[in-house]
Amino acid sequence: MLKAQARPVHLYMEANPNPNSLKFVANFMLVEDGVSFDFPDSESTDNSLLAKELFNFAAVQRVFIASNFVTVTKSDEVEWPEIQTIIRDHIKQYLETGQKAVQATFEKDPLFDENDSEIVKKIKGILDEYIRPAVEQDGGAIVFHSFQDGIVKVLLQGSCSGCPSSTVTLKAGIQNLLTRMLPEVKEVQAEGI
Protein backbone atom coordinates (compact mmCIF):
# COMPACT_ATOMS: atom_id res chain seq x y z
CA MET A 1 0.00 0.00 0.00
CA LEU A 2 1.30 3.45 -0.93
CA LYS A 3 1.96 5.74 2.02
CA ALA A 4 0.35 9.18 1.86
CA GLN A 5 2.78 11.93 0.91
CA ALA A 6 3.11 14.72 3.46
CA ARG A 7 2.95 18.26 2.09
CA PRO A 8 3.33 21.82 3.36
CA VAL A 9 -0.10 23.15 4.32
CA HIS A 10 -1.08 26.78 4.68
CA LEU A 11 -4.56 27.51 6.03
CA TYR A 12 -6.28 30.81 6.53
CA MET A 13 -9.67 31.54 8.00
CA GLU A 14 -12.45 33.47 6.29
CA ALA A 15 -15.69 34.72 7.80
CA ASN A 16 -18.92 34.39 5.81
CA PRO A 17 -22.52 35.65 6.16
CA ASN A 18 -23.39 32.85 8.60
CA PRO A 19 -21.99 33.92 11.99
CA ASN A 20 -21.87 30.29 13.16
CA SER A 21 -19.72 29.15 10.23
CA LEU A 22 -16.07 29.71 9.50
CA LYS A 23 -14.25 28.81 6.28
CA PHE A 24 -10.77 27.26 6.53
CA VAL A 25 -9.03 27.73 3.17
CA ALA A 26 -6.05 25.55 2.12
CA ASN A 27 -3.30 26.30 -0.38
CA PHE A 28 -4.34 23.34 -2.58
CA MET A 29 -7.49 21.58 -3.78
CA LEU A 30 -9.07 19.19 -1.28
CA VAL A 31 -11.65 17.75 -3.68
CA GLU A 32 -12.41 18.08 -7.39
CA ASP A 33 -13.64 21.49 -8.51
CA GLY A 34 -17.42 21.65 -8.57
CA VAL A 35 -17.85 18.73 -6.17
CA SER A 36 -18.87 19.26 -2.54
CA PHE A 37 -19.49 17.09 0.48
CA ASP A 38 -21.87 18.10 3.25
CA PHE A 39 -21.68 16.36 6.63
CA PRO A 40 -24.66 17.49 8.75
CA ASP A 41 -23.73 15.09 11.59
CA SER A 42 -21.09 12.58 12.65
CA GLU A 43 -23.15 9.65 11.31
CA SER A 44 -22.74 10.97 7.75
CA THR A 45 -18.91 10.95 7.78
CA ASP A 46 -18.21 7.45 6.44
CA ASN A 47 -16.19 8.79 3.50
CA SER A 48 -14.28 11.51 5.41
CA LEU A 49 -11.97 10.82 8.31
CA LEU A 50 -11.31 14.57 8.56
CA ALA A 51 -15.02 15.35 9.03
CA LYS A 52 -15.35 12.47 11.52
CA GLU A 53 -12.44 13.87 13.57
CA LEU A 54 -13.89 17.41 13.51
CA PHE A 55 -17.13 16.11 15.02
CA ASN A 56 -15.07 15.01 18.04
CA PHE A 57 -15.07 18.70 19.02
CA ALA A 58 -18.28 19.24 21.02
CA ALA A 59 -18.91 22.66 19.44
CA VAL A 60 -18.87 21.34 15.82
CA GLN A 61 -22.37 20.92 14.37
CA ARG A 62 -21.70 20.59 10.62
CA VAL A 63 -18.73 20.12 8.28
CA PHE A 64 -18.69 20.99 4.59
CA ILE A 65 -15.79 20.27 2.20
CA ALA A 66 -15.47 21.72 -1.32
CA SER A 67 -12.72 22.92 -3.67
CA ASN A 68 -9.88 24.11 -1.41
CA PHE A 69 -11.78 24.71 1.82
CA VAL A 70 -13.50 23.21 4.84
CA THR A 71 -16.44 25.10 6.34
CA VAL A 72 -17.19 24.31 9.96
CA THR A 73 -20.47 25.31 11.61
CA LYS A 74 -20.38 25.63 15.38
CA SER A 75 -23.05 25.63 18.07
CA ASP A 76 -24.43 28.88 19.49
CA GLU A 77 -23.00 28.12 22.94
CA VAL A 78 -19.39 28.86 21.96
CA GLU A 79 -17.74 31.83 20.24
CA TRP A 80 -15.26 31.46 17.38
CA PRO A 81 -12.30 33.06 19.20
CA GLU A 82 -12.54 30.22 21.76
CA ILE A 83 -12.18 27.39 19.22
CA GLN A 84 -11.03 28.67 15.81
CA THR A 85 -7.30 28.13 16.40
CA ILE A 86 -7.83 24.61 17.74
CA ILE A 87 -10.00 23.68 14.72
CA ARG A 88 -7.58 25.30 12.24
CA ASP A 89 -4.60 23.48 13.79
CA HIS A 90 -6.43 20.16 13.66
CA ILE A 91 -7.33 20.57 9.97
CA LYS A 92 -3.74 21.65 9.19
CA GLN A 93 -2.20 18.67 11.03
CA TYR A 94 -4.60 16.27 9.31
CA LEU A 95 -3.80 17.64 5.84
CA GLU A 96 -0.05 17.67 6.54
CA THR A 97 -0.12 13.87 6.81
CA GLY A 98 -1.11 13.74 3.13
CA GLN A 99 -4.45 12.03 3.80
CA LYS A 100 -7.38 12.95 1.58
CA ALA A 101 -10.07 15.20 3.03
CA VAL A 102 -12.71 12.94 1.45
CA GLN A 103 -12.28 9.36 0.27
CA ALA A 104 -14.63 9.34 -2.72
CA THR A 105 -14.22 8.85 -6.44
CA PHE A 106 -16.68 9.48 -9.24
CA GLU A 107 -17.08 7.50 -12.44
CA LYS A 108 -18.84 10.49 -14.03
CA ASP A 109 -19.60 14.11 -13.27
CA PRO A 110 -22.15 14.01 -10.42
CA LEU A 111 -23.68 17.34 -11.51
CA PHE A 112 -24.78 16.38 -15.00
CA ASP A 113 -26.97 13.46 -16.02
CA GLU A 114 -27.59 12.65 -19.67
CA ASN A 115 -31.19 11.73 -18.76
CA ASP A 116 -31.94 15.30 -17.62
CA SER A 117 -34.45 17.28 -19.65
CA GLU A 118 -33.15 20.28 -21.61
CA ILE A 119 -34.53 22.75 -19.05
CA VAL A 120 -32.91 20.85 -16.14
CA LYS A 121 -29.58 20.88 -18.02
CA LYS A 122 -29.93 24.66 -18.45
CA ILE A 123 -30.82 25.17 -14.77
CA LYS A 124 -27.83 23.07 -13.62
CA GLY A 125 -25.57 24.93 -16.05
CA ILE A 126 -26.64 28.33 -14.69
CA LEU A 127 -26.28 27.14 -11.08
CA ASP A 128 -22.81 25.78 -11.84
CA GLU A 129 -21.53 28.76 -13.83
CA TYR A 130 -23.11 31.74 -12.08
CA ILE A 131 -24.19 30.66 -8.60
CA ARG A 132 -21.69 28.02 -7.40
CA PRO A 133 -18.60 30.27 -7.46
CA ALA A 134 -20.34 33.04 -5.49
CA VAL A 135 -21.78 30.68 -2.91
CA GLU A 136 -18.48 28.81 -2.50
CA GLN A 137 -16.91 32.20 -1.81
CA ASP A 138 -19.12 32.28 1.30
CA GLY A 139 -18.19 28.72 2.33
CA GLY A 140 -21.27 26.90 1.10
CA ALA A 141 -23.03 25.33 -1.82
CA ILE A 142 -26.43 25.26 -3.44
CA VAL A 143 -27.17 21.97 -5.18
CA PHE A 144 -29.96 21.29 -7.68
CA HIS A 145 -32.65 19.03 -6.22
CA SER A 146 -35.58 19.05 -8.67
CA PHE A 147 -37.65 21.02 -11.18
CA GLN A 148 -41.40 20.61 -11.49
CA ASP A 149 -44.29 22.91 -12.41
CA GLY A 150 -42.02 25.95 -12.73
CA ILE A 151 -40.47 25.45 -9.27
CA VAL A 152 -36.75 24.79 -8.87
CA LYS A 153 -35.84 23.11 -5.57
CA VAL A 154 -32.29 23.35 -4.28
CA LEU A 155 -30.38 22.03 -1.27
CA LEU A 156 -28.43 24.50 0.88
CA GLN A 157 -25.14 23.13 2.20
CA GLY A 158 -22.19 24.28 4.26
CA SER A 159 -22.45 27.82 5.62
CA CYS A 160 -25.68 28.34 3.61
CA SER A 161 -27.51 25.82 5.78
CA GLY A 162 -29.07 27.78 8.62
CA CYS A 163 -27.60 31.09 7.47
CA PRO A 164 -29.78 34.11 8.29
CA SER A 165 -29.20 35.63 4.84
CA SER A 166 -29.79 32.42 2.83
CA THR A 167 -33.44 33.30 2.13
CA VAL A 168 -32.43 36.68 0.71
CA THR A 169 -29.73 35.00 -1.41
CA LEU A 170 -32.25 32.43 -2.59
CA LYS A 171 -35.01 34.85 -3.56
CA ALA A 172 -33.15 38.05 -4.52
CA GLY A 173 -30.19 36.35 -6.15
CA ILE A 174 -30.84 32.88 -7.48
CA GLN A 175 -34.56 33.18 -8.18
CA ASN A 176 -34.12 36.54 -9.95
CA LEU A 177 -31.30 35.15 -12.11
CA LEU A 178 -33.08 31.92 -13.05
CA THR A 179 -36.47 33.56 -13.79
CA ARG A 180 -34.74 36.21 -15.92
CA MET A 181 -32.67 33.69 -17.89
CA LEU A 182 -35.28 30.91 -18.15
CA PRO A 183 -38.96 31.88 -18.56
CA GLU A 184 -39.96 28.31 -17.58
CA VAL A 185 -38.74 28.98 -14.02
CA LYS A 186 -41.31 30.74 -11.81
CA GLU A 187 -39.88 30.20 -8.31
CA VAL A 188 -36.88 28.78 -6.38
CA GLN A 189 -37.34 26.97 -3.06
CA ALA A 190 -34.89 25.47 -0.61
CA GLU A 191 -35.34 21.86 0.50
CA GLY A 192 -34.48 20.63 3.96
CA ILE A 193 -33.88 23.89 5.82
User: Using one digit for the tens of pLDDT, what is the confidence trace for 134-143?
Assistant: 777 777 777 8
**With 50 as the cut, is the pLDDT of residue 146 above it?**
yes
The pLDDT value given to residue 54: 97
Other CB atoms within a 10 A radius of the CB of residue 157 amount to 23
**pLDDT per residue over 6-59, tens digit each?**
678 999 999 888 899 999 999 999 998 778 898 999 999 999 999 999 999 999
The pLDDT value given to residue 1: 44
H/E/C letters for each residue in the chain? CCCCCCCCCCEEEEECCCCCEEEEEECCCCCCCCCEEEECCHHHCCCCHHHHHHCCCCCEEEEEEECCEEEEEECCCCCHHHHHHHHHHHHHHHHHCCCCCCCCCCCCCCCCCCCCCHHHHHHHHHHHHHHHHHHHHCCEEEEEEEEECCEEEEEEEECCCCCCCHHHHHHHHHHHHHHHHCCCCCEEEEECC
Going by C-alpha positions, the residue among 142, 124, 125 that lies closest to residue 36 is 142
**pLDDT per residue over 73-117, tens digit each?**
999 999 999 999 999 999 999 999 999 999 976 555 556 677 888
The pLDDT value given to residue 192: 60
Other CB atoms within a 10 A radius of the CB of residue 61 amount to 18
Residues facing residue 191 across a β-bridge: 155
| Structure confidence at residue 155 as a pLDDT band (50, 70, 90) | confident
The pLDDT value given to residue 25: 94
CB crowding 85-108: b at 16 or more within 10 Å, else e: eebbebbeebbeeeeebbeeeeee
The pLDDT value given to residue 166: 67
Strand 187-191, strand 151-158: pairing = parallel
**pLDDT per residue over 157-184, tens digit each?**
776 676 666 666 667 778 888 888 889 9
The C-alpha atoms of residue 9 and residue 47 are separated, in whole angstroms, by: 22
Higher pLDDT, 1 or 136: 136
